[in-house]
């Protein structure tokens, strides 16, 4: 892909970046200023000075997981895939549609970049995502093809990649079209990724639950294949772990987060999962046999961790039917210092029976 979208080169003063950052309440995006990108914010961080407990992605090893999970090859592989599928999101525009009082609403219509994190959860060859405003796409609808010279035209072979994040990170399609997802940003000190996905549109989202499913594109066959395989493995391992660790007295619950604090390279943090909120009331048409939930945890996070995937180790003792199939994403830092996730559906299945994947319904979000 060309370099057009690499940096939008906004000239943002430090004062302006700080003003935008102050307009986000307890959520944890990182706002970049010209010459003051994430690496400087990392050094002056006051929430987690020294970032003790933050493990660079390249230094993750199974023995850093708590016992007994560090003995389980499936858990180790699940976390390894969580790390591989985590992306840094750079959002270069703040939508005019952000409602009054919402995160960054004082800066709508402006090109002041902020970063968050997200997780790839699917990739599909030549799958038209049918953007709401144009269902006639027969070729790649990405922002790079939008601006390709007429002779070059749109790429006929491409992959769409689905990413889950928090809605306050990428609010709508207008923002998604200016968003870049950086993969493989794993080396400490590394700020630039050579593997990028280009935002196409927001697919679905939920404002109260603060989750969003957004679509990206890549023209790179190998990247598409790799992400499709890794996300399928992540799902299969999540399902496989259904039958394990269902006694919280024996298996304490933990929340493993992988994110890009301050928009810098990928870090893993681990803490206790301390609370679970059932929020069915937020979802119109919630079914009686399912629970929409949010989690509370002590896992360290910083600005830039918004939207980061959370893997919960262990599970509640709830009639043996609990299914953490879909990973929650990080939402905000509570005044208590603990973290609070966005909402996701935890499907309920009878874990004494074989898992019937066909029994799950299409998600409303
Ligand atoms: Zn920090
Ligand atoms: Zn394209």
Q: What is the pLDDT of residues 161-173, one digit of tens each?
A: 999 999 999 999 9
At residue 153, the pLDDT reads 85
- Cα(219) to ligand 2 centroid in Å equals 6
At residue 288, the pLDDT reads 73
| Sign of the dihedral defined by the CA atoms of residues 91, 306, 75, 300, in that order | positive
Inter-residue contact 351 to 320 (CB < 8 Å): yes
Mean pLDDT, residues 143-149 taken together: 87
- Cα(148) to ligand 2 centroid in Å equals 9
Inter-residue contact 99 to 241 (CB < 8 Å): no
- Cα(159) to ligand 2 centroid in Å equals 9
Concatenating the DSSP letter of every residue in 23-72 gives: TTTTB--EE-BTTB-HHHHHHT-SSSGGGTT-EEGGG--GGGSPTTGGG-
Summary mean pLDDT of the chain: 87
At residue 3, the pLDDT reads 40
Inter-residue contact 202 to 172 (CB < 8 Å): yes
80 three-state secondary structure: helix
Report the CATH architecture of 62-81+245-359: Beta Barrel (2.40)
pLDDT > 70 fraction of the chain, expressed in percent and rounded: 85
Ligand nearest to the CA of 301: 1
Asked whether residue 77 carries a pLDDT value surpassing 90, the answer given is yes
At residue 133, the pLDDT reads 67
- Cα(333) to ligand 1 centroid in Å equals 12
Q: Round to whole Å and give the CA distance between 158 and 145.
A: 11
What are the two backbone dihedrals, phi and then psi, of residue 357, each rounded to the nearest 5 degrees? Answer: -65, -20
- Cα(86) to ligand 2 centroid in Å equals 22
pLDDT-derived band at 139 (thresholds 50, 70, 90) equals confident
Q: What tens digit of pLDDT does each residue of 191-213 get?
A: 889 899 999 999 899 999 999 99
Asked whether residue 285 carries a pLDDT value surpassing 60, the answer given is yes
- Rounded (10°) CA dihedral 152, 154, 160, 165: 90
Asked whether residue 323 carries a pLDDT value surpassing 60, the answer given is no
- Cα(158) to ligand 2 centroid in Å equals 7
At residue 247, the pLDDT reads 79
pLDDT-derived band at 28 (thresholds 50, 70, 90) equals very high
Inter-residue contact 341 to 310 (CB < 8 Å): yes
Percentages (nearest 5) of helix, strand, coil residues in the chain: 25, 30, 50
Q: What tens digit of pLDDT does each residue of 342-359 get?
A: 998 876 655 556 555 545
Where are the alpha helices (H) located in the chain, listed in sequence order?
Answer: 14-22, 38-43, 73-85, 143-146, 173-176, 221-240
At residue 106, the pLDDT reads 97
Ligand nearest to the CA of 159: 2
At residue 6, the pLDDT reads 46
Ligand nearest to the CA of 38: 1
At residue 172, the pLDDT reads 97
Q: Round to whole Å and give the CA distance between 163 and 123.
A: 9
Q: What tens digit of pLDDT does each residue of 46-71 get?
A: 999 999 999 999 999 999 999 999 99
- Cα(35) to ligand 1 centroid in Å equals 18
| Sign of the dihedral defined by the CA atoms of residues 284, 168, 215, 81, in that order | negative
The secondary structure of residue 254, as a DSSP letter, is E
Q: So where are the chain's domains?
A: 14-51+86-232, 62-81+245-359
At residue 97, the pLDDT reads 98
Q: Which long-range contacts (CB under 8 A, 24 or more apart) does 284-288 make?
A: 284/364, 285/364, 287/361
- Cα(39) to ligand 1 centroid in Å equals 10
Q: Which residue has the tokens 């969580």?
A: 82
Mean pLDDT, residues 20-40 taken together: 86
At residue 5, the pLDDT reads 44
Q: Which residue has the tokens 């306050």?
A: 168
Other CB atoms within 10 Å distance of the CB of residue 175: 26
Asked whether residue 127 carries a pLDDT value surpassing 90, the answer given is no
Asked whether residue 303 carries a pLDDT value surpassing 50, the answer given is yes
Lowest mean pLDDT among 74-78, 108-112, 142-146, 257-261: 142-146
Cα Rg of the chain, angstroms: 20
- Cα(52) to ligand 1 centroid in Å equals 10
Q: Round to whole Å and give the CA distance between 179 and 176.
A: 5
Helix 73-85 / helix 221-240 crossing angle, nearest 10 deg: 140
- Cα(262) to ligand 1 centroid in Å equals 6
- Cα(110) to ligand 1 centroid in Å equals 25
Asked whether residue 177 carries a pLDDT value surpassing 80, the answer given is yes
- Cα(183) to ligand 2 centroid in Å equals 17
- Cα(106) to ligand 1 centroid in Å equals 24
Ligand nearest to the CA of 152: 2
Mean pLDDT, residues 272-299 taken together: 88
Ligand nearest to the CA of 49: 1
At residue 38, the pLDDT reads 73
Task: List the shell of residues around ion ligand 1, using CB closer than 5 Å.
Answer: 45, 48, 302
Q: Which residue has the tokens 């019937």?
A: 356
pLDDT-derived band at 324 (thresholds 50, 70, 90) equals low
């Amino acid at each position: 892909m060309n370099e057009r979208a690499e940096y939008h080169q906004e000239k943002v003063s430090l004062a302006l970046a700080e003003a935008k950052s102050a307009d986000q309440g307890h959520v944890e995006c990182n706002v970049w200023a010209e010459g003051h990108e994430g690496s400087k914010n990392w050094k002056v961080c006051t929430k987690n000075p020294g970032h003790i407990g933050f493990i660079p992605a390249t230094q993750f090893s199974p023995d850093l997981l708590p016992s007994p999970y560090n003995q389980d090859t499936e858990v180790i592989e699940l976390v390894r895939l969580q790390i591989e599928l985590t992306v840094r999101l750079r959002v270069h525009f703040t939508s005019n549609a952000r409602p009054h009082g919402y995160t960054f609403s004082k800066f709508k219509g402006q090109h002041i970049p902020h970063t968050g994190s997200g997780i790839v959860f699917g990739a599909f060859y030549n799958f038209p995502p049918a953007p709401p405003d144009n269902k006639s796409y027969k070729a790649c609808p990405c922002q790079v093809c939008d601006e390709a010279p007429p002779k070059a035209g749109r790429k006929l072979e491409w992959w769409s990649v689905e990413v889950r994040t928090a809605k306050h990170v990428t609010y709508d399609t207008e923002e998604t079209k200016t968003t870049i997802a950086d993969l493989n940003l794993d080396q400490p000190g590394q700020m630039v990724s050579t593997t990028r996905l280009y935002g196409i549109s927001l697919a679905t989202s939920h404002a109260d639950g603060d989750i969003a499913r957004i679509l990206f594109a890549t023209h790179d066959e190998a990247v598409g294949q790799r992400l499709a395989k890794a996300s399928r493995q992540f799902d299969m391992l999540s399902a496989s772990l259904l039958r394990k660790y269902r006694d919280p007295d024996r298996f304490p619950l933990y929340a493993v987060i992988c994110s890009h604090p301050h928009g810098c390279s990928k870090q893993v943090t681990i803490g206790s999962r301390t609370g679970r909120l059932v929020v069915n009331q937020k979802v119109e048409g919630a079914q009686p046999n399912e629970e929409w939930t949010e989690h509370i945890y002590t896992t360290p996070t910083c600005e830039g961790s918004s939207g980061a995937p959370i893997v919960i180790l262990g599970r509640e003792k709830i009639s043996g039917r609990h299914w953490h199939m879909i990973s929650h994403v990080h939402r905000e830092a509570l005044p208590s210092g603990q973290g609070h996730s966005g909402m996701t559906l935890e499907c309920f299945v009878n874990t004494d029976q074989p898992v019937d994947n066909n029994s799950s319904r299409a998600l409303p979000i």
